[in-house]
Structure 1
Amino acid sequence: MTERGASTVLRDARTLSIGPSAARWDGNSLTLHLAEIGAPLPRRVRGIVRVHPLALGDRGFILDVAGRHRWRPIAPRARIEVALDSPSLHWSGTGYFDTNAGDAPLESDFRNWDWCRASAGDAAAILYNARRRDGTERSLALRVDRHGQVEDIAVPPPAHLPRTLWRLARPTRADACAAPRVTETLQDAPFYARSVIATGLLGRRVVAVHESLDLDRFAALPVQLMLPFRVPRSFQ
């Protein structure tokens, strides 16, 4: 996507437009209209993504002591339809939709975090582990039923996944004796990784999406200098 100035952003109760792209909520589904230029090699990204929630989450969470950072799993269980014209790509399956909001840069209050989400029968499991600058941690372990009710469960014990090619750590949590493993690395960057893992949650063997974010690396000058090549910026 492209970073844009405030003058190109429009928002009301049902629509968020950022430049030529927009997200619209009709009360039942969220439709994303994409019109972007990819990076680092310029190419068009055009098409529609539809998110059909199977349940809407009813809780939000404060991630830091001062209350400057908030997270909410809006659609912890959803059906997704992807129809891109450029590149030509069509896909449908299960999905997830959440939101982060904050009043300060993430790197100001967090050193790193990891997150994991999996479908487990008629429920979904979500793990969120944040390590704060003040040395404390925030660990969430949630079970979301098919009606969207979010329930706190016991935080599973720590587990470790192999580091990425950028030597980024991929900590997680899993049921005891689950022995999680990486089955596919979807994105491998100096400060961020997204992976598919086979793990154990809610007493079941599951396939989960996992992400790991290192904000010390993100704030480092060499990474900041590389970002414009990965995320183009428009000053219109």
Structure 2
Amino acid sequence: MFSPWYRWSGRRDPENHVCINVATYGPGGRFAMTDRGRSALRQTGTRFEVGPSRLDWDGRSLRIAIDERGAPPLFGRILGEIRVTPAAVTDVELPLTADGAHVWRPFAPVSGIEVDLDAPGWRWRGHGYLDANFGLRALEADFSYWTWGRYALPGGGTACFYDADRRDGTGLAHGARFLPDGSAEEIALPPRRPMARSLWRVRRETRGDEGSRPRQVRGMLDAPFYARAMVETVLDGQSVTGVHEALDLDRFASPLLKPMIALRVPRRRRWRFGD
């Protein structure tokens, strides 16, 4: 959805603009997102394959085999495997617009993850997450701004908050708690709490108890229109840490930004599978 090549094509043929986006953080971190043509796409009910990388679902876990090249300015190969094992798969879907043109699908908000990539420090196990967004229109056509946050809770559950400003003047405000057994419930929303802006001055806010001051613990991805970070906030009197993102779609809609993004998202039209 962030590919400038897809936008320049008129958004007529999504299967001719496919990507597997990989980002690693910390020392030696890399970002890879190559826009590939139709010949690079193969998919079945349990496999999604784009060029040299693929995702396989075996009924219990999602195996992500990665073979990508880092985008400028930090070149380098990203090679290895990630395995995400859900504690349970939910049946939750959240329409983000009144007509259901955009939907958030949190498949497995509570998961285990095993990372085994071919670089020092990129092998670890921890707490993972799996979700997806589906849309029939461009995000910038229906939204001007949104934030999303996922925070691990004591006891093994997780809380997610989705807030957005729609182009029609309405807003989205949703909070949910997910438990390891796959059950979910809506939760009362704590107030929006402001945060410091990102390095690119993207406005940021998240949910937190009245009087709390959410703060960035670690920067992860910083772009002119998007920021992702580990954030600490306070929920029900307890300090929690999670992943937060803020997306300025007014900035993303600017045609002046597309060439900048294209430098980080190269286009590769042709691909030939070896088997």
Q: CA deviation at 1:73?
A: 0.8
Please list the CA deviations of residues 96-136 of structure 1 after superposition, one character each: whole Å capped at 9, or x if unmatched: 11001111111111101000001112221000111111111
Structure 1 counterpart SS, 2:247: strand
The corresponding residue for 2:105 is 72
Greater shift in the superposed pair: 82-91 or 50-59 = 82-91
- Answering whether residue 206 of structure 2 is matched by residue 172 of structure 1, we say yes
Return structure 1 stretches of 4+ with deviation > 6 angstroms: none
For the residue of structure 1 that corresponds to 2:256, the secondary structure is helix
TM-score computed with the length of structure 1 as normaliser: 0.95
Matches within 5 A, 1:197-216: 197-216=231-250
* CA distance in structure 2 between the partners assigned to 1:234 and 1:95 by the alignment: 30
Residue 210 of structure 1: CA displacement? 0.6
Q: Which residue of 1 aligns with 2:220?
A: 186
The residue aligned with 1:7 is 39
RMSD: 1.4
Change (3 A) 1:133 1:106: same
Give the SS at the match of 1:96.
strand
Aligned 8 A contact 2:207 2:233 in 1 = no
150-159 or 86-95: bigger deviation: 86-95
Indicate the structure with greater strand content: 1
Q: CA deviation at 1:39?
A: 0.3
CA contact (8 A) 1:46 1:87 kept: no
State the alpha-carbon separation in 1 of the partners of residues 144 and 114 from structure 2: 34
Give the CA deviation at 1:202.
Answer: 4.5
The counterpart of 1:135, out of the listed 163, 169, 182, is 169
> Could you tell me which of 127, 134, 139 is aligned with 1:106?
139
Per the alignment, residue 60 of structure 1 pairs with 93
How far apart, in 2, do the equivalents of 1:83 and 1:5 lie? 28
Q: Is the 8 A contact 2:195 2:213 kept in 1?
A: no
Distance 1:74 1:109 in 2: 24
Tell me by how many angstroms 1:179 deviates.
Answer: 2.1
Residue deviations 1:190-217 (CA, integer Å, cap 9, x gap): 0000111111124421011110001111
Q: CA deviation at 1:88?
A: 6.6
Q: Does 1:119 align with 2:135?
A: no
Cα distance in 2 for partners of 1:178, 1:144 equals: 23
Give the one of 42, 61, 85 matched to 1:29: 61
1:144-183 residue pairs with structure 2 within 5 A? 144-183=178-217
1:16 aligns with 2:26: no
The 1-side partners of 2:101 and 2:39 are apart by: 25
* Partner SS state of residue 55, structure 1: coil
Unpaired runs of 5+ residues, structure 1, are none
Paired residues for 1:39-54 under 5 Å = 39-41=71-73, 42-54=75-87
Tell me if structure 2 keeps the 8 A contact 1:45–1:87: no
Contact map agreement 1:125 1:201 (CA 8 A) in 2: no
- Alignment match of 2:128 (pick from 77, 95, 99): 95
- Equivalent pairs, count: 236
Distance 2:45 2:37 in 1: 21
What displacement does 1:66 show? 2.0
Partner of 2:13: none
Gaps of 5+ in 2: 1-32, 271-275
> Which residue of structure 1 aligns with residue 256 of structure 2?
222
Distance 1:37 1:187 in 2: 17
Distance in 2 separating the partners of 1:201 and 1:58? 25
Matched residue SS, 1:179: coil
